Chain A
Amino acid sequence: QKEVEQNSGPLSVPEGAIASLNCTYSDRGSQSFFWYRQYSGKSPELIMFIYSNGDKEDGRFTAQLNKASQYVSLLIRDSQPSDSATYLCAGFSGTYKYIFGTGTRLKVLA
């Protein structure tokens, strides 16, 4: 079993809707979680990270962490076609080694 699991998608949402991307992890010792966006053929780009239970908001993005349920999510409000990409969830093993999920492909339909 992979340590970080994501649904590969594609997740299709209409323009202007909320996109909800989910991730579960198996290592209860994981302390912080990161969301990366990766456009096709490009490198991963850090969107935001979270290490406390609850919500963290940054512009149109909200990350949510529930350590009891070992669940991380990313909400994208007012989705735009330019948000269409693969979203990678990552936890840390230790203090420097990312463990990535396989990514969820998001399609925002104009």
Chain B
Amino acid sequence: GAGVSQSPRYKVAKRGQDVALRCDPISGHVSLFWYQQALGQGPEFLTYFQNEAQLDKSGLPSDRFFAERPEGSVSTLKIQRTQQEDSAVYLCASSPHRDQLNYGYTFGSGTRLTVV
């Protein structure tokens, strides 16, 4: 596809349920990012992959959050035992560059997670 594709667009989970959010980056993009955007806030960094290597997971809020990109393309963000504070929009972004300073990157349309 032409852009970063995320699925599902909306997810309602009961507290304690596990969820998996999928990101299909732009074909050939080596860098992939996950961000979390709470209502009324700017996006906050969660994790970064370069190809299949997870180079930075410093933003993952707890050990309930896990991300993978096993073949260097599609990525999945998994949240175990969801809590109400996990309700947010989860944004995926990709870039063809390893160094983003002079380029920026393109976000997908996001997955809105609501934990009830």
Interchain CB contact under 8 A, B33 and A43: no
| Cα distance A92–B25 in the bound complex, in angstroms | 21
Which chain B residues lie closer than 8 Å to A34 at the CB level? Answer: 104
Q: How many A-B residue pairs have CB under 8 A?
A: 55
Closest to A99 in B: B45
| Cα distance A32–B43 in the bound complex, in angstroms | 17
Residue picked from A42, A96, A97, most chain B C-beta under 10 Å: A96
| Cα distance A60–B56 in the bound complex, in angstroms | 37
Taking chain B's interface residues, is the majority helix, strand, or loop, or is none over half, making it mixed? loop
| Cα distance A96–B99 in the bound complex, in angstroms | 6
**Interfacial residues of chain A within 84-102, with CB under 8 A of chain B in the complex:** 88, 90, 92, 95-102
| Cα distance A8–B41 in the bound complex, in angstroms | 9
- Quote the shortest CB–CB distance from B109 to chain A (angstroms): 5
**Interfacial residues of chain A within 58-110, with CB under 8 A of chain B in the complex:** 88, 90, 92, 95-103
A-contacting residues of B (Cβ < 8 Å)? 31, 33, 35, 40-45, 48, 56, 59, 91, 99-110
Q: Identify the 10 closest CB pairs spanning chains A and B, nearest first.
A: A100-B42, A43-B107, A96-B100, A95-B99, A97-B45, A46-B104, A34-B104, A32-B101, A43-B109, A43-B110
